[in-house]
């Protein structure tokens, strides 16, 4: 499959990093200082009761941030070892094995959803039906159909849902998107989202289920298989059954920023094609560890999403080189008048003035949040949409799901962002939803 290449002139321009560093321009810092302070902890009489569902590393981290704004009243996990560890940190919280029971416990107002990706939607739907507000880890869904259902339910239930795409509350990413949206690099031509490569390994042997783990329930809606250590905690996302590798992991972050910079948070691409750069090992991790996905948008902007690493294990060199101008893990916007690259560590540009010159005349002002969890709790009180609300979380991961389907099918696809379906392609549209294994289907949380 052929992929577009930048010209030699564009390559030379892209390879000359003129301004780099972690510091933000003084004018942008001054603007931030003039804004109201981030949400502060509520009073002793106004602290929501928080339930954590999924007590692994990310869920526990999210709970430590949320505990500044509310009281931890419940902990839920189907791994008794993880549940006991969380309970040792929050001894006053009640413990549960079934999130449906936990959500109806007295004094529960907020759910922190730190479950594996294939459980996100059912847990979130149960929370909506229990009348709770939700902070949900990304990727928000396992399929596009799940996202459409979740958006409808959250809106109908008038719930507040914040997707854990915390880059929306990062000053560097907001600055980059505001500059792009206000024409600082001219007309936007191309966006490059560079992601870490995934895991490549196998085949793996099955083993006994660890004591205290409800393996059948952990698998949930997915097909039942023998327990394999590498399928569970930590590395679950490298299997098609439960996720889509780094494409829906880091991709849910960086492709979200790509849409934000393009001003297409409520839309998406119109076409995509993709290529796995290293085939999975039979019996091992099933999602490709390295890949390249190309998108095109109705406004003429093109978008490449690809992994950074170009050499596989044991010296297995991938013949397809990265695109010219490839940067490290992050997002690069290229326009007619220059480029901006942004990551969690730095923001840099092809010309120092792109960043240094204040934005005096703006046509676009983006939602400002410098505290992602604080923004969520502030919106619980105001009942306004948070900076990464359910619609944004759905559309951002939809870009990833579209690319994953193109990887699965191995051919170009046309996408209708308004109808949220592939154009004239019944086979591709079958992947917008997945069969759910009973009893862990939608009826499980009805």
Say whether pLDDT at 376 is over 50: yes
Query: Residue 269 is encoded by which pair of tokens?
Result: 């691409």
Domains and CATH numbers, the chain: 8-33+171-366+390-445 (3.30.360.10), 49-167 (3.40.50.720)
Say whether pLDDT at 190 is over 60: yes
Percent above pLDDT 70 for the chain: 88
Residue 9: which pLDDT band, with cuts at 50, 70 and 90? very low
Say whether pLDDT at 360 is over 60: yes
Q: Strand runs (DSSP E) across 105-214, as ranges?
A: 110-113, 133-136, 161-163, 188-195
Sequence-distant (≥ 6) Cβ neighbours of residue 227 within 8 angstroms: 206, 207, 208, 209, 210, 215
Digit-coded pLDDT (tens) for 385-400: 999 999 999 999 999 9
**How many angstroms separate the CA atoms of 261 and 364, rounded?**
11
Residue 121: which pLDDT band, with cuts at 50, 70 and 90? very high
Q: Which residue has the tokens 């809606």?
A: 221
Query: Residue 264 is encoded by which pair of tokens?
Result: 């297409």
Q: Which of 52, 49, 47 is nearest to 106 (CA)?
A: 49
More confident residue, 3 or 15: 15
Helices 120-129 and 144-157 cross at an angle (nearest 10°) of 20
Digit-coded pLDDT (tens) for 15-48: 333 344 557 888 777 776 666 655 555 555 589 9
What's the pLDDT at 25? 84
**pLDDT averaged over every residue in the chain:** 90
CB 397 within 8 A of CB 164: no
CB-count exposure of residue 105 (10 Å: 0-12, 13-18, 19+): middle
More confident residue, 196 or 16: 196
Digit-coded pLDDT (tens) for 43-96: 555 899 999 999 999 999 999 999 999 999 999 999 999 999 999 999 999 999
Say whether pLDDT at 108 is over 80: yes
Helices 57-66 and 372-382 cross at an angle (nearest 10°) of 60
What's the pLDDT at 318? 37
For the chain, what is the largest distance between any 2 Cα atoms, rounded to a whole number of angstroms? 64
**How many angstroms separate the CA atoms of 113 and 137, rounded?**
6
**How many angstroms separate the CA atoms of 126 and 111, rounded?**
10
Task: Write out 210-230 in H/E/C secondary structure.
Answer: CCCECHHHHHCCCCCCCCCHH
Say whether pLDDT at 316 is over 90: no
Q: Strand 133-136 vs strand 291-296: parallel, antiparallel, or unpaired?
A: unpaired
Q: Strand 347-349 vs strand 413-416: parallel, antiparallel, or unpaired?
A: unpaired
Cα angle 284-56-204, degrees, rounded to a multiple of 5: 15
């Amino acid at each position: 499959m052929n992929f577009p290449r930048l010209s030699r002139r564009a390559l030379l321009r892209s390879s000359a990093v003129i301004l780099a560093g972690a510091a933000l321009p003084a004018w942008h810092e001054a603007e931030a200082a003039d804004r109201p302070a981030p949400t502060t902890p509520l009073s002793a009489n106004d602290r929501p009761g928080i339930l954590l569902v999924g007590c692994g590393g990310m869920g526990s981290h999210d709970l430590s941030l949320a505990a500044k704004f509310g009281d931890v009243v419940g902990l839920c996990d189907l791994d008794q070892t993880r549940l006991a560890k969380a309970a040792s940190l929050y001894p006053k919280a009640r413990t549960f094995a079934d999130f449906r029971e936990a959500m109806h416990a007295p004094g529960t107002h907020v759910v922190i959803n730190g479950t594996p990706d294939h459980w996100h939607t059912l847990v979130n739907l149960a929370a909506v039906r229990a009348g709770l507000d939700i902070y949900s880890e990304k990727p928000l869904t396992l399929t596009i159909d799940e996202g459409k259902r979740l958006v409808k339910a959250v809106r109908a239930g008038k719930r507040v849902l914040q997707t854990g795409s915390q880059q929306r509350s990062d000053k560097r990413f907001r600055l980059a998107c505001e500059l792009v949206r206000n024409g600082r690099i001219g007309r936007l031509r191309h966006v490059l989202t560079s992601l870490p490569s995934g895991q490549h390994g196998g085949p793996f042997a099955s083993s006994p289920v660890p004591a205290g783990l409800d393996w059948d329930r952990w698998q949930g809606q997915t097909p039942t298989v023998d327990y394999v250590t590498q399928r569970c905690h930590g590395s679950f996302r490298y299997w098609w059954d439960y996720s889509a590798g780094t494409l829906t992991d880091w991709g849910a972050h960086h492709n979200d920023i790509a849409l934000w910079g393009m001003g297409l948070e409520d839309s998406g691409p119109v076409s995509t094609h993709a290529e796995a750069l290293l085939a999975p090992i039979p019996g091992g991790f099933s999602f490709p560890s390295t890949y390249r996905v190309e998108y095109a948008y109705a406004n003429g902007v093109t978008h490449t999403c690809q992994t950074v690493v170009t050499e596989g294990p044991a010296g297995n060199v991938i013949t397809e080189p990265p695109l010219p101008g490839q940067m490290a893990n992050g997002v690069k916007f290229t326009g007619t008048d220059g480029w901006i690259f942004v990551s969690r560590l730095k923001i840099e540009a092809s010309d120092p003035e792109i960043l240094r010159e204040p934005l005096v005349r703006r046509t676009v002002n983006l939602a400002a949040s410098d505290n992602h969890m604080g923004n969520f709790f502030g919106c619980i009180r105001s009942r306004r949409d948070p900076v990464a609300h359910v619609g944004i979380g759905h559309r951002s991961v939809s870009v990833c799901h579209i690319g994953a389907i193109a990887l699965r099918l191995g051919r170009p696809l046309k996408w209708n962002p308004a109808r949220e379906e592939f154009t004239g392609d019944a086979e591709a549209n079958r992947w917008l939803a997945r069969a759910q294994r009973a009893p862990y289907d939608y009826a499980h949380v009805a």
